[in-house]
Every structure is written in structure tokens, then in C-alpha cells.
Amino acid sequence: MKNKKSRALLERALMHIPGGVNSPVRAFKSVGGFPPFIARAQGAYIWDEDGNKYIDYVGSWGPMILGHNHPEVREAIAKALENGTSFGAPTRLEVEMADFLCDRLPHLEMVRMVNSGTEATMSAIRLARGATGRDKIVKVSCCYHGHGDSLLVEAGSGALTFGTPSSPGVPKSLAADTLVIPYNDAAALERILDANAGKIACFILEPLPGNVGTLLPRPGYLREVRALCSKHGVVLIFDEVMSGFRVAFGGMTELSAVTPDLVTYGKIIGGGLPVGAYGGKRELMKLVSPSGPVYQAGTLSGNPLAMAAGLAQLKVLDRDRNEIYPRLDAITERLGNGVKAAASLANVEITVNHQGSMFTAFFAKGPIEDDASARSCDTARFAAFFREMLENGVYLAPSQFETGFVSCAHKDDDIALTIEAANTAMKAAARLTR
């Protein structure tokens, strides 16, 4: 593949942008090589600066569920743009967004718009702390909730120890208030809540983790989590920044029929523009400033272009949900089966997890259902597979521990071409010797 222009741009980028990128995983560190610089996108495809075309399964890391540059989203942005880009004052579009979300999602009684998923989770945690008067929080080791200080924390040495910072710059004192447990382990949650009775403000998790690759909850896990949080007066936060409107219109909250106290959103609700949101029970949300004492604010929050883009995308999903979600599920399953068949032909061990249009091919025997099993993957073999897929025109997330996203714009032919590429790439992965 031609790559002269992307190479030159990376060299320039490295001069003035840390690592040459504005978000770390874009740098391709875990798969080797260097990232193509993307010039444009349409439907299921992206084109790089050198003119190479790729079938895209990153979808801007989740937002582009309708495909890139969807006409209804683009037109909504263009229409909003005629009136200006930001007012820092209340607007009709924000009211329409809040009405739309609270109307359609039974678990949302009130909602506050912010500018990213990180802001949404940070703010939800502050609210939980403010509401309960407790400082400690519990998170799941393999779940990512953005880069807020309280959340960049890993498990300490023992199951009941305090968390330790996972990045320099996160104060130890703050990390000590974050307790970390494994996914799919309700007994671990019970132990930690019993040992810290009256001290835990909230339990935050991705109900369907996507940031270690796609993991599925064991039957009953989310129900058990709900019961334990209720018993201990702990605010249950579902982080649906990735899974919201993705695995079903109502996300994992709808699929699991478990009602959290607060939910966070991002990605899809911005239609490709920067957005996040948190919401849930009225009694909690009423505590947010200015109706209550828990402070949270934002110069660009509820930005009219972002509201217009997000609403346009959500309205299409709502209108066509009976066709969209079953089709996404079916083609993602076909894709997964094709990749599995390619692996088995090449004698490579993989496990494919998928829920709706979220999928990961883990290079391990499986089952993959928590952090420990995900970490058993052969990341070098994944990297060989990834590079060959890219070379064959398929753009996957550049890490074993990420989720792939299928969009409404992916057609049967795209899936067939992807499986063909996977047949070649699995052979490359099989050839890898170390």
C-alpha cells in the first residue's frame, strides 16, 4: 500500500503533538507499523491521505452506527450551523434532546449533557459521592470509563486492598478511594461492600465491557449487582458510553432489564460530534447544580451542532430500530462466523465474542469472560493478523483489547470481502513464529 503522505504527516505530527496523536491508541503502538492518516469517510469506508480505501470497523470508536457522513446527520448539522455554532445559553435543541432521551428510555428521568464520555462518568461519580456523603467507589478492573483521576486506577495487591494509580499524575490518596474488582464476579462485589459497609458511594461498570475487547455478562450477574447495591445503599452506575444505543436502542439497560440509578452516555448520542451525558433517577439528578449543590458545568455543554447531530442519529435509530438492530446482529454474527472459519482453516485458536454490532476476535482458546482470560491472548499473533487485514483494506481497532463495530452501512459484500481478507490474514498469523 502507498503510505508516503501518512508517513510524512506522522513525522510532522511528532514534532508538536505528543506521540503524534491526540488519543494514544491511534498511534498503533501495540500492533507495530504506523497509522494511516484519514482524509475522508463515507458509509462503511474510510480513505487515507495516500488514497487507500478501507472497510472501517472502528467507526470513530463507536459513534458512527449509521455509517460515516450519513445524510440525515449531515443535513441536521448544516441546518444548525446556519444559526451559529455556540451560544452558552439555553437552546430549544437541548430541550428536544432531553425530552427525547427521557421519553424513550424508562430509566432516565432527568439528564445532563456534557462534552465527552470522560466528563459523563466523572460527573456521575461526583453526584454519587455528593448524594451519599461517601468517598469510596468500586470499579471493575477491565472497564474503562475515560481518563478521570478516580478511574485511572488498578487493583492493589489483594482483593480487598485499595487501588493504586495506573498513570503517573493520579494522586495515591485519590486512588486509595477507588476499589477494584474483577468483572462477572458478584461475590467479589459482595465481599468488598461488606468489608466497607457505609463507605462506598457507587459501583460503576460497563454492563457490557468493550474496552478489553467485548465481554458478555454471565446470566444473572447484572441482577445480582443491582440487588447488592440496593442492599448497601450504593449508587449503581451503568457506563453505556459504548453500549448505549449500540447493542439495542436502550443499550444493555434494556437488554438486561436491570435498572441502574445513573447511566452515562457518549459516542452515538453525539452523531460523531463531541458529546456525553449522564442521567437517571430524578431524586439524584435534582442534586446537580443549579437545582442542587453538586457542582458540574461546561462552556460548550449542549452545543447546538452536537445536539443536532446526535438527535438526528438517534431519531433514525428510533424510527428504524426494528430493522436496524436485528440486521446489525445478524451481519455481525456472519462476520464472526467467517473469521472463526478462517482461523480454524489456518489452525489458529480464536474466540469470537459479540453482542449486537460489537465484536472481538480474541486470539485465545477461551472462553473469554473477564480480565484474566482476555489477558491470555496471543497479542503478537493478533498484531500479525491486524497488519495483514490493514494491508488487505480492512481497518480494525489497532489493539487486541478493543471492540470492533459494524454499522448500518456495512453491506453483505463488505462482510464477504472482510472474510476473504481474514482468510489471508489468519494464514499470516499462523506463520508467526517466536
Ligand X SMILES: Cc1ncc(COP(=O)(O)O)c(C=O)c1O
Footprint of ligand X on this chain (CB under 6 A)?
61, 116-118, 121, 144-146, 206, 210-211, 239, 241-242, 266, 276
24 versus 220: smaller Cβ distance to ligand X: 24
d(CA 215, CA 123): 25
- 144 catalytic? Reply is yes
Query: Given 177, 221, 267, 414, which residue is catalytic?
Result: 267
54 versus 405: smaller Cβ distance to ligand X: 405
Write down how long the chain is.
434
Nearest distance in Å: CB 393, ligand X: 25
Nearest distance in Å: CB 277, ligand X: 11
Who contacts 313 (Cβ-Cβ below 8 Å, separation ≥6)? 65, 66, 70, 72, 73, 268, 269, 271, 272
Nearest distance in Å: CB 142, ligand X: 11
CB of 273 closer than 8 Å to CB of 306: yes
β-strands 358-362, 404-405 pairing: antiparallel
54 versus 144: smaller Cβ distance to ligand X: 144
- Rounded to the nearest 10 degrees, what angle do helices 221-232 and 186-195 cross at? 10
Nearest distance in Å: CB 60, ligand X: 10
- 183 catalytic? Reply is no
368 versus 422: smaller Cβ distance to ligand X: 368
The three grid cell numbers given for residue 97, joined into one nine-digit string: 434532546
61 versus 203: smaller Cβ distance to ligand X: 61
52 versus 301: smaller Cβ distance to ligand X: 301
Provide the edge-to-edge strand list for the sheet that holds 45-48: 38-42, 45-48, 53-56, 394-395
CB of 1 closer than 8 Å to CB of 50: yes
Query: Given 56, 177, 185, 239, which residue is catalytic?
Result: 239
Nearest distance in Å: CB 242, ligand X: 4
If you ran DSSP here, which 8-state letter would residue 278 be given? E
Closest chain position to ligand X (CB): 117
Query: Given 45, 54, 57, 144, which residue is catalytic?
Result: 144
β-strands 164-165, 153-154 pairing: antiparallel
What Å distances lie between residue 376 and 155, 282, 330, 350, 368, CA to CA? 18, 42, 28, 11, 9
- 177 catalytic? Reply is no
Nearest distance in Å: CB 264, ligand X: 7
Instruction: For residue 79, give the nearest of 317, 314, 309, 318 by alpha carbon.
Output: 309
| Residues with a known catalytic role | 144, 239, 267
